[in-house]
Amino acid sequence: MRRPLPLLPALAAVLLLTACGSERAGTQNGGVGASGSTPRTQVTQPAVDGVRITSVTIPSASASPSASDGGLVKAERLPTGPAADSGISAAYEVTNSGTEALTYTVRFDFTTSAGEVMSNERVTVRSVGAGRTVRGTVRPGEFVPGSSPVTTVKVGEVTKVPADEAPTEAGVCPPSGVRVSADDGDAAMGLRVVGLILENCGDRDYTVDGYPQVTLLDEDHEPVDGVKIFKGSGGISTVTGFDDPPRPVTLKPGERANAGLMWRNTTGFGTAVDVPYVRVRARSDAEPVMVTPHLDLGTTGKLGVSPWRSTPE
């Protein structure tokens, strides 16, 4: 069985790009960064799952930034303050060496010399065609006043899903008329719960009856073996709504439903299982959507799925 790479579920910021050959894309958080007088350092660090930082701009009062042994960029005595005033930015490129169009979500870490993360920005690069490269620029979010200076920018983590299975961005309704997404999840004493959200963004009623259909996938988007999926809690824990009997839920345009995934990440004998991708169908005839909640299942081998239920207004 393959061992998937760990991921983070939260999306801090989104940049929407479309691949078409080798392109120059827009800049996150507005603007390219520093002026022409600010030093920009070229970077030769290796790509992380097809994503590579090509240059970094970090203004310094006393020294120009330079590449470290690990390919990261560092400088001394950098200014603090809001990112819009700092001039810090990183140019990057995303190259799809696969055989199908992919949508990438990338976490970029802006850290201090001690490794403290001052800002981690998530960028979504949509529909990068096979053999294509998309380029863009990312800037950090606003820093807390008096925070330590940023000296390093690097690629943190990368997820990539087939472009035709990627969750649609806010404000865009797919042809199916429904949007499926996953929330940031909740954790308490080893218990993990991630919510699945179904939104009717179309112009007609949409009915679901029962449980969402889920398939657990590894880093290569292949099915994960050794995990039993239960309708309901499966005895994992007592959580409100998980063992309610399923019933039809009809969503009018603009209404939502939710379901949940529940597991424990405890470990014992056996091999721990991490699941980076989950393919979700709202009902049997629905188009699949691949979400990235990172199910760190430990060695329990159990996942509970709750039925769809209406989301209160």
Residues 21-66: tens digit of each pLDDT:
444 444 454 333 334 456 677 777 789 999 999 999 988 643 334 4
Residue-level length of the chain: 313
Residues 56-106: tens digit of each pLDDT:
998 864 333 444 344 443 333 334 444 445 789 999 999 999 999 999 999
Does the pLDDT at position 14 exceed 50? no
Q: Which of 302, 308, 297 is nearest to 235 (CA)?
A: 302
Contact between 36 and 87 under an 8 Å Cβ cutoff? The reply is: no
Question: How far apart, in whole angstroms, are the C-alpha atoms of residue 253 and residue 206?
Answer: 8
Rg, C-alpha atoms of the chain: 21
Question: How far apart, in whole angstroms, are the C-alpha atoms of residue 34 and residue 53?
Answer: 17
Does the pLDDT at position 284 exceed 50? yes
Mean pLDDT value of segment 179-183? 94
Mean pLDDT value of segment 234-259? 95
Tell me phi and psi for residue 58, to 5 degrees: -130, 100
Does the pLDDT at position 113 exceed 50? yes
In DSSP notation, 110-151 reads EE-TT--EEEEEEEEEEEE-TT-EEEEEE---PPPTTPPPP-
pTM for this structure? Answer: 0.78
Cα angle 284, 290, 291 (rounded to 5 degrees) comes to 120
Rounded to a whole number, what is the distance in angstroms from the first to the last CA of the chain?
Answer: 42
How confident is the model at residue 190, as a pLDDT? 76
